[in-house]
């Protein structure tokens, strides 16, 4: 049976740090180092092997690369020096770009909400973020969760750990510059993609 | 050989391990003068510390004794033990080397009668057993040491007790005041065979060597299995002396790893297979597990692997363990990782774990040759240039004994060519 290398090549060239996957020697250190190890469907080692074996759908539809908590254990230990954490995040993004990632994947949803919140004010608006996250599974569920946490929220408000800003109106100083920076970064990304 | 009054015809061999011994006797036996310089108080190098060597599992004496005899019978070889080369000047055909010889505090009159050691009450860590046992401060360097002469610990030599021991020696061989000597020697060519040092396993943080008592290394294990070793050859674990009935070997501990030694050390797979036989021969019911990335029975050694593989009590797991932990109550080391053939995670306790550490060349550590005489590869091994200084054995690559001997025979020929060219 001939191998179809087209998917592997696509990943090597177009996924963030994807070219490193060629270097993996399948030793298993990454899998054994991951605190979430047993909960992944595929370990990093397995993902890398599946990429090399051309299993495009299985990889792109997998939840595995969304499980990484960025603890960097695998990355510091990998004997071949693969930037595994970055590769795994890169694969998640690659799956989004290929329109294969599940829209309801919880990490993906969380990441999106977090990012939008951060982009709005230039820093996290905790109150708005928490409210939004509580409501992801519908308003009744969100209200219930909010009530459960109300004492904690009150004491955080009192001690100044939580700012009263339910509409998320606060902005960092130099917010315009921050926006310009993001715009520029996106342009650079876009150019990289086109070349 | 034609005599020439201007240039020396002598070959200097640095390092008296299997490689240096080979180069020295090969050159001397065809009529060339050889000076052999060895840092330890004995010849034989790392092989002397090995319990049995693959593939035939004979004791090191079978390879070493014959070389010692050839040296003893050959007046062309002058041996300096406890000596190092501190300076090299000149060029091919006309070198001057400076050799520093540290004091042994025991002169050549010593008959190895052992009266001194018996009388000595001070003990030191025994370097030959990697400090795993104690030895008298005046001692035979090890059981089959050549030259067969005692040696005194330099710190102890400063004590009054040392002076009292000197009185006890029936042949007046003990000299607590002996001083270091420095000698300049003209030589024609140089063979550099300074060998290797076991990779320092304590650098591999995730494996806990030095913290977990029952995590050992392969070189320590050679001593543990040896009848002159710290446990008299009984394979028991360090924490409580319990018989080792369930043991794991971890391959590539520090080798093939960009954090440590990036290269394959080439002998450690075979060394673990060999050490598995030590355990299995001693305990017929013992279980052995070997964790590996891929097994490398280099060169012609696959037959040895096939033989070891027939033992059903040996399990092979294709996995580089991620980390080790220790059960605080039993002191059992726990090996943690992913079995790459099944994808399953494991956390398995053993009586003892042996880290198959690799070889670091001494030319990258404390036996460096000045760069103007040699070139080095990226790991510190010497790449020979054919300019009168020829490296051999583990100064050129991680090698097994047979390959080290081959490389050293070749080096002897190179050295002779320089002498003949004049
Ligand atoms: C765990 C283990 C088990 C092994 N078992 C086997 C086996 O079963 N069979 C096998 O074929 N191989 C085995 N090997 C490999 C074997 O040990 C080497 O092939 C052998 O030691 C090479 O000999 P050498 O002379 O090149 O180096 P060495 O044995 O290291 O000898 C070098 C000598 O040079 C001396 N020296 C160092 N620096 C200086 C200096 N600056 N000046 C003067 N002298 C110096 C040293 O004191 C030493 O005497 C094993 C290796 C390991 C790690
Ligand atoms: S630790 Fe590195 S080399 Fe080993 S399997 Fe994981 S990615 Fe591959
Ligand atoms: S010989 Fe085996 S244990 Fe040693 S570095 Fe090579 S593969 Fe690893």
* Assigned token pair, A179: 């926006």
Do A122 and A63 fall into the same domain? no
- CB of B19 shorter than 6 A to ligand 1: yes
Q: Residue A96 burial (CB < 10 Å; 0-12/13-18/19+)?
A: middle
Given a cut of 80, whether residue B4 has pLDDT beyond it is: no
A32 → chain B, closest CA residue:
B337
Is A187 among the domain residues?
A: no
A12: closest CA of chain B, how far (Å): 21
From CA B273, how far away is CA B308, in angstroms rounded?
A: 7
Instruction: Return the domain boundaries, chain B.
Output: 2-102+180-197+360-421, 115-168, 200-357
Query: What does the pLDDT read at residue B262?
Result: 97
- B96-150, pLDDT tens digit by residue? 999 999 999 999 999 999 999 999 999 999 999 999 999 999 999 999 999 999 9
Do A22 and A64 fall into the same domain? yes
Nearest-CA residue for ligand 2 atom 3 is: A24
Compute the count of residue pairs across chains A and B with CB atoms less than 8 Å apart: 63
Q: Which atom of ligand 2 is nearest to the CA of A28?
A: 5
Do A41 and A80 fall into the same domain? yes
Query: What does the pLDDT read at residue B370?
Result: 87
Q: Which atom of ligand 3 is nearest to the CA of B293?
A: 7
Q: Which residues of B touch A28 (CB under 8 A)?
A: 318-320, 322, 337-340
From CA A20, how far away is CA A13, in angstroms rounded?
A: 10
- Among B340, B344, B358, which would you mutate to test the A interface (most chain A Cβ atoms within 10 Å of its Cβ)? B340
With the CA atoms of B32, B37, B41 and B44 taken in that order, what torsion angle do they form, in degrees rounded to the nearest 10? -60
Phi-psi region of B385 (alpha: psi -120 to 50; beta: other; left: phi over 0): alpha
Q: Which residues of B touch A43 (CB under 8 A)?
A: 338, 343
Given a cut of 70, whether residue A188 has pLDDT beyond it is: yes
Last residue within a domain, chosen from A97, A127, A148:
A97
Q: Closest partner residue to A33 among B252, B323, B343, by Cβ? A: B323
* Assigned token pair, A29: 């250190």
Which H/E stretch holds residue B21?
Answer: helix B18-29
Taking the model in full, what pTM does it have? 0.93
- Ligand 3 binding pocket (C-beta < 6 A) is B 251-252, 255-256, 264-266, 268-269, 296, 356, 358
Beta strands in B319-404 (DSSP E): 323-326, 333-338, 345-349, 352-357, 359-361, 375-376, 382-383, 389-391
Is A1 among the domain residues?
A: no
Q: What is the percent of chain B with per-residue pLDDT over 70, rounded to a whole number?
A: 98
Measure Cα distances from A47 to A57, A65, B294 in Å.
Answer: 12, 9, 20
- Under 8 Å between Cβ of B163 and B124: no
Q: Is A145 on the interface with B (CB under 8 A)?
A: no
> Are B322 and A81 within 8 A, CB to CB?
no
- Under 8 Å between Cβ of B110 and B173: yes
Do A112 and A158 fall into the same domain? yes
**Structural domain that includes position A44:** 6-97
> Are B320 and A81 within 8 A, CB to CB?
no
From CA B352, how far away is CA B331, in angstroms rounded?
A: 9
From CA A139, how far away is CA B393, in angstroms rounded?
A: 75
Beta bridge partners of B205: none
- CB of B189 shorter than 6 A to ligand 1: no
Query: What does the pLDDT read at residue B2?
Result: 44
Q: Between the ranges A153-162, B5-14, B125-134, where is the mean pLDDT highest?
A: B125-134
Q: Identify the band that residue B6 occupies on the pLDDT scale cut at 50, 70 and 90.
A: low
- B247-261, pLDDT tens digit by residue? 999 999 999 999 999
Q: Identify the band that residue B421 occupies on the pLDDT scale cut at 50, 70 and 90.
A: confident
Query: What does the pLDDT read at residue B386?
Result: 86
Q: Identify the band that residue B7 occupies on the pLDDT scale cut at 50, 70 and 90.
A: low
Q: What is the percent of chain B with per-residue pLDDT over 90, rounded to a whole number?
A: 94
* Assigned token pair, B90: 């000149």
Mean pLDDT of A61-77: 95
What mean pLDDT value characterizes chain B? 96
Do A54 and A111 fall into the same domain? no
Mean pLDDT of B311-337: 98
CATH number for the domain whose boundaries are B2-102+180-197+360-421: 3.50.50.60
Binding-face residues of A in 25-84 toward B, CB within 8 A: 25-33, 37-38, 42-43, 45-46, 76-77, 79-81
Q: Tell me the ligand closest to B271's alpha carbon.
A: 1
Number of structural domains chain A divides into:
2
CATH number at residue A74: 1.10.1060.10
B2-102+180-197+360-421 with B200-357: one CATH topology?
yes
Q: Which residues of B touch A29 (CB under 8 A)?
A: 320-322, 337
Is A61 among the domain residues?
A: yes
A33 → chain B, closest CA residue:
B322
Q: Identify the band that residue A57 occupies on the pLDDT scale cut at 50, 70 and 90.
A: very high
Q: Residue B10 burial (CB < 10 Å; 0-12/13-18/19+)?
A: buried
Nearest-CA residue for ligand 3 atom 8 is: B252
φ/ψ of B188, rounded to 5, equals: -90, -45
Do A89 and A111 fall into the same domain? no
Q: Which residues of B touch A41 (CB under 8 A)?
A: none
- Under 8 Å between Cβ of A156 and A145: no
A31 → chain B, closest CA residue:
B338
What are the residues whose beta carbons fall under 8 Å from the beta carbon of A142, sequence distance 6 or more?
Answer: A131, A134, A135, A136
Superfamily name and number for B200-357: FAD/NAD(P)-binding domain (3.50.50.60)
- CB of A28 shorter than 6 A to ligand 2: yes
> Are A27 and B320 within 8 A, CB to CB?
yes
Q: Which residues of B touch A33 (CB under 8 A)?
A: 206, 322-323
Do A139 and A161 fall into the same domain? yes
Is A56 among the domain residues?
A: yes
Complex ipTM: 0.90
φ/ψ of B340, rounded to 5, equals: -75, -10
> Which among A22, A78, A84 is the best mutation to test ligand 2's pocket, defined by most ligand atoms within 8 Å of the CB?
A78
From CA B322, how far away is CA B326, in angstroms rounded?
A: 14
φ/ψ of A98, rounded to 5, equals: -80, 5
Is A192 among the domain residues?
A: no
* Assigned token pair, A172: 């960092």
Q: Identify the band that residue A22 occupies on the pLDDT scale cut at 50, 70 and 90.
A: very high
Query: What does the pLDDT read at residue A1?
Result: 63
Is A131 among the domain residues?
A: yes
Is A120 among the domain residues?
A: yes
Measure Cα distances from B241 to A161, B127, B132, B231 in Å.
Answer: 56, 21, 13, 9
List alpha helices for B109-240, DSSP H: 115-119, 154-157, 160-168, 218-224
B404: closest CA of chain A, how far (Å): 28
B322: closest CA of chain A, how far (Å): 5
Closest CA to A193 of A14, A60, A18: A14
Beta strands in B92-150 (DSSP E): 94-101, 123-125, 134-136, 138-139
Residues of B with CB under 8 A from a CB of A: 206, 252, 256-259, 293, 318-323, 336-340, 343, 345
Q: Closest partner residue to B340 among A33, A45, A80, by Cβ? A: A45
Query: What does the pLDDT read at residue B1?
Result: 43
Last residue within a domain, chosen from A97, A127, A156:
A97
């Amino acid at each position: 049976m001939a191998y179809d290398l087209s998917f592997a090549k696509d990943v090597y060239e177009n996924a963030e740090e994807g070219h490193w996957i060629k270097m993996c020697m399948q030793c298993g250190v990454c899998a054994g180092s991951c605190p979430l190890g047993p909960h992944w469907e595929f370990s990093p080692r397995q993902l890398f092997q599946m990429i090399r074996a051309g299993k495009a759908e299985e990889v792109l539809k997998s939840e595995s690369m969304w499980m990484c908590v960025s603890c960097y254990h695998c990355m510091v230990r990998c004997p071949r020096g693969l930037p595994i954490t970055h590769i795994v995040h890169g694969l998640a993004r690659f799956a989004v770009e290929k329109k294969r990632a599940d829209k309801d994947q919880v990490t993906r949803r969380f990441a999106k909400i977090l990012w939008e919140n951060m982009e709005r004010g230039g820093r996290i608006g905790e109150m708005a973020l928490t409210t939004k996250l509580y409501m992801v599974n519908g308003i009744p569920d969100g209200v219930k969760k909010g009530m459960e946490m109300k004492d904690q929220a009150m004491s955080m408000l009192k001690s100044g750990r939580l700012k009263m800003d339910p509409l998320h109106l606060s902005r960092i100083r130099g917010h315009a510059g921050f926006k310009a920076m993001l715009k520029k970064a996106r342009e650079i990304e876009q150019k990289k993609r086109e070349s | 050989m034609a005599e020439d009054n201007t240039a020396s015809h002598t070959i200097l061999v640095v390092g008296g391990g299997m490689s240096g011994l080979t180069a020295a006797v090969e050159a001397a036996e065809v009529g060339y003068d050889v000076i052999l310089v060895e840092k330890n108080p004995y010849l034989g190098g790392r092989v002397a510390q090995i319990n049995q060597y693959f593939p035939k599992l004979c004791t090191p004496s079978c390879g070493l004794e014959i070389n010692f005899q050839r040296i003893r019978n050959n007046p062309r070889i002058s041996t300096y033990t406890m000596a190092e080369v501190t300076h090299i000047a000149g060029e091919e055909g006309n070198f001057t080397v400076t050799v520093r010889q540290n004091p042994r505090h025991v002169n050549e009159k010593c008959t190895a009668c052992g009266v001194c050691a018996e009388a000595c009450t001070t003990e030191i860590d025994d370097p030959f057993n990697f400090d795993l046992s104690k030895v008298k401060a005046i001692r035979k360097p090890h059981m089959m040491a050549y030259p067969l002469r005692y040696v005194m610990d330099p710190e102890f030599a400063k004590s009054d007790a040392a002076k009292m021991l000197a009185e006890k020696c029936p042949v007046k061989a003990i000299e607590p005041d002996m001083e270091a000597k420095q000698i300049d020697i003209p030589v024609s060519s140089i063979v550099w065979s300074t060998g290797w040092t076991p990779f320092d396993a304590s650098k591999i943080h995730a494996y806990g060597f030095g913290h977990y008592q029952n995590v050992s290394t392969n070189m320590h294990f050679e001593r543990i299995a040896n009848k002159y070793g710290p446990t008299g050859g009984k394979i028991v674990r360090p924490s409580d002396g319990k018989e080792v009935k369930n043991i794991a070997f971890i391959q590539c501990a520090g080798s093939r790893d960009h954090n440590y030694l990036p290269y394959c050390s080439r002998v450690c797979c075979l060394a673990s297979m060999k050490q598995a036989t030590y355990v299995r021969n001693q305990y017929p019911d013992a279980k052995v597990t070997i964790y590996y990335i891929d097994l490398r029975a280099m060169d012609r050694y696959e037959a040895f692997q096939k033989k070891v593989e027939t033992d059903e009590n040996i399990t092979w797991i294709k996995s580089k363990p991620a980390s080790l932990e220790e059960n605080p109550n039993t002191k059992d080391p726990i090996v943690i990782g992913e079995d790459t053939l099944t994808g399953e995670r494991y956390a398995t306790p053993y009586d003892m774990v042996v880290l198959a550490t690799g070889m670091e060349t001494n030319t990258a550590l404390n036996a460096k040759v000045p760069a103007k005489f040699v070139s080095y590869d990226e790991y510190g091994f010497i790449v020979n240039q054919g300019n009168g200084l020829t490296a051999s054995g583990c100064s050129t690559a991680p090698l097994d004994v047979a390959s080290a001997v081959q490389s050293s025979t070749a080096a002897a020929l190179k050295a002779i060519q320089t002498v003949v060219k004049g």
